[in-house]
């Protein structure tokens, strides 16, 4: 199972970025998908999640600024980030809880991470 992220970069405070993550491999289905982030010297934290039915959950720090969405036909999840702040600077990781096609086992997959840097 592979998760490939894209869309990170350097942006000024107040700007916007859109992260994308595509899931591929021997998967039967994808359940919840999400985005997490890890800033230097801090533990990884939840940013937003979305279920297969489209229910969403956000960290309080990003509510009203970030929007998570998914395209089930493309096995992809997105994170639209608006009104970015310097404290949003972190490595952002894509997460997908998948069911493997051959064993039907649950598997928690992670992307390699993409850097988001917000300059003040």
Dump pLDDT digits (tens) for 17-59: 999 999 999 999 999 999 999 999 999 999 999 999 999 999 9
Taking alpha carbons only, the member of 16, 71, 8, 70 closest to residue 37 is 8
- DSSP single-letter state for residue 60: T
Predicted confidence (pLDDT) per residue in 75-110, tens digit: 999 999 999 999 999 999 999 999 999 999 999 999
Cβ atoms of 85 and 118 within 8 Å: the answer is yes
Cβ atoms of 77 and 66 within 8 Å: the answer is no
Tell me if residue 52 falls in helix, strand or coil.
Answer: coil
- What's the rounded Cα separation, in Å, for the pair 52 and 42? 29
Cβ atoms of 96 and 48 within 8 Å: the answer is no
């Amino acid at each position: 199972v592979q998760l490939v992220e894209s869309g990170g970069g350097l942006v000024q405070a107040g700007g916007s970025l859109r992260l994308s993550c595509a899931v591929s491999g021997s998967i039967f289905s994808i359940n919840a998908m999400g985005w997490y982030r890890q800033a230097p010297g801090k533990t990884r934290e939840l940013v937003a999640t979305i279920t297969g039915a489209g229910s969403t959950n956000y960290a309080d720090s990003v509510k009203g600024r970030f929007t998570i969405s998914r395209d089930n036909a493309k096995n992809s999840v997105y994170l639209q980030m608006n009104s970015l702040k310097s404290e949003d600077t972190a490595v952002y990781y894509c997460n997908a809880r998948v069911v493997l096609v051959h064993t039907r086992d649950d598997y928690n997959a992670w992307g390699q991470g993409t850097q988001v840097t917000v300059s003040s």
